[in-house]
Amino acid sequence: MIVYGVALLSVCLILGMVIGEALGVALSVEANVGGVGIAMLFLVFASNSKQFKSLTQGAAGSGIQFWSAMYIPIVVAMAAQQDVAGAMDGGLLALMAGVAAVVVSFALVPVLSKLGGNSDPTEDTEEQGAV
Amino acid sequence: MEILETVFIRNNLIVAFAVVGVTIWFSYFLADKLTQGRIHGSAIAIALGLVAAYFGGTATGGNSGLADVTLLGGIGLMGGGMMRDFAIVSTAFGVHLSELKKAGIAGVVSIFAGVIVSFIVGAAIAVMFGYTDPAAITTIGAGAVTYIVGPVTGEAIGASNEVITLSVAAGLVKSILVMIGTPLVAKYIGLNNPQSAMVYGGLMGTTSGVAAGLAATDPKLVPYGAMTATFYTGVGCLLGPSILYFVVSGIF
């Protein structure tokens, strides 16, 4: 049943969000701390474990894969509702602060990646998931 | 006309599916014909989305881009936080734990390094522009972290509304630039494997920026980058109004 996979995905998201929200309260931070990341870990555990096989394989799995394939369309819709006009109105200070933060962060990617040890490029980067 | 309007508004999410679908078809067509596939179709689609958001925002005066256009309100639901997070989590399906473990420590380090570095850069630029009030410098620095950390920090330490607005704008610039810039620089920063994607997510931190940037670079990397990026805003909200503010107050 396709809905089993969708339900598993939903339960992972809700559990992750609740934990992220609770972490925020515990740290007295006005934000959800890593809720989505924690939800992703739950899904990784579920899809790697035997107990959840019936919820992640066959039709149930395609319920999860559907949403994974909808990822890019959803991101396009997300881009279409960004406050681009607001970003432009911020003036030179906002522009420079944003640009400089991105440039410096990009530059640090190769530096910190070395901490992770050996790195192999993902095989076959063509044509994946979306559309 | 009125009939059409009623149907569009009543079925706004479905309209969004159709509009986004056509946009993506058109983008892949352009990517294929104009660039011979050198630029990813999804990168073009995201760029078109941002352009449309700009015109939507200027036409309506709202702050949700195209989603403020009445007939296209469904874009707001389709691309809103709920659907975005749901789709991001679904990309973790099939990820191997071993890949996550390999970059675990580098990923955690990158989150803290990313928040602190972006903050320092943003704060330094605020100082260059003549700000001397620690609350204002901290808030603008926090805005360079993400557009959520900026206002959260600003409100906590009592910055002026004008400064808070600036911090949101700085965060928006960052998020948009990450969306557009990632596919362009990916090759030069070694962004082609799960480990560097986790480091990248931790350093950039803007969930929207990382989500779109990786989608336009290589969708296989999305779960790794998104995993670390989602902790970034929380860490930023934790450090901004506390340690980072104390340090700035100590200097100015």
pLDDT at A9: 94
Q: Per the structure, how many domains does chain B have? A: 2
Residue identified by tokens 């890019």 is A72
User: Binning pLDDT at 50, 70 and 90, where does residue A122 land?
Assistant: low
Using an 8 Å Cβ cutoff, are A99 and B177 in contact? yes
Q: Which of B16, B51, B79 is the last residue of a domain?
A: B79
Query: Does residue B42 sit in the same domain as residue B103?
Result: no
Query: Does residue B147 sit in the same domain as residue B225?
Result: yes
Query: Does residue B38 sit in the same domain as residue B67?
Result: yes
- For residue B161, being part of any structural domain is answered with yes
Q: Which of B31, B51, B79 is the last residue of a domain?
A: B79
Q: CA nearest B83 in A: which residue?
A: A74
CA A119, CA B66: separation in Å to the nearest integer? 40
Domain that holds residue B193: 97-251
Contact B176 A95 (CB under 8 A): no
Query: Does residue B38 sit in the same domain as residue B112?
Result: no
DSSP character at residue A121: P
User: Per-domain residue ranges for chain A?
Assistant: 2-82, 84-113
Query: Does residue B62 sit in the same domain as residue B108?
Result: no
Q: What is the mean pLDDT of each run of 10 residues along chain B (252 residues)?
A: 89 94 93 79 85 89 86 90 88 79 82 92 90 90 88 81 83 88 89 89 89 88 87 81 84 83
Cβ neighbours around A7 below 10 Å, total: 14
pLDDT at A13: 93
- For residue B24, being part of any structural domain is answered with yes
Query: Does residue B102 sit in the same domain as residue B139?
Result: yes
Query: Does residue B74 sit in the same domain as residue B103?
Result: no
Rounded to two decimals, the ipTM of the complex is 0.82
Query: Does residue B124 sit in the same domain as residue B22?
Result: no
Query: Does residue B46 sit in the same domain as residue B169?
Result: no
pLDDT at A123: 45
- For residue B88, being part of any structural domain is answered with no
Q: CA nearest A37 in B: which residue?
A: B227
CB contacts of B41 in chain A (<8 Å) are 131
pLDDT in tens, B214-235: 988 888 888 888 888 888 887 8
Cβ neighbours around B184 below 10 Å, total: 14
CB contacts of B136 in chain A (<8 Å) are none
Query: Does residue B140 sit in the same domain as residue B41?
Result: no
Residues 6+ apart with CB under 8 A from B73: B9, B12, B67
Contact A79 B49 (CB under 8 A): yes
Query: Does residue B72 sit in the same domain as residue B35?
Result: yes
CB contacts of A24 in chain B (<8 Å) are 234, 237
- For residue B90, being part of any structural domain is answered with no
- Torsion angle, CA of A93/A99/A102/A104, rounded to 10 degrees? -90
Query: Does residue B64 sit in the same domain as residue B103?
Result: no
Nearest to A33 among B174, B229, B231 (CB): B231
pLDDT in tens, B80-121: 889 988 988 898 887 777 777 777 788 888 889 999 999 999
Nearest to A81 among B64, B86, B94 (CB): B64
- For residue B86, being part of any structural domain is answered with no
Q: CA nearest A126 in B: which residue?
A: B218
Nearest to A117 among B102, B167, B185 (CB): B102
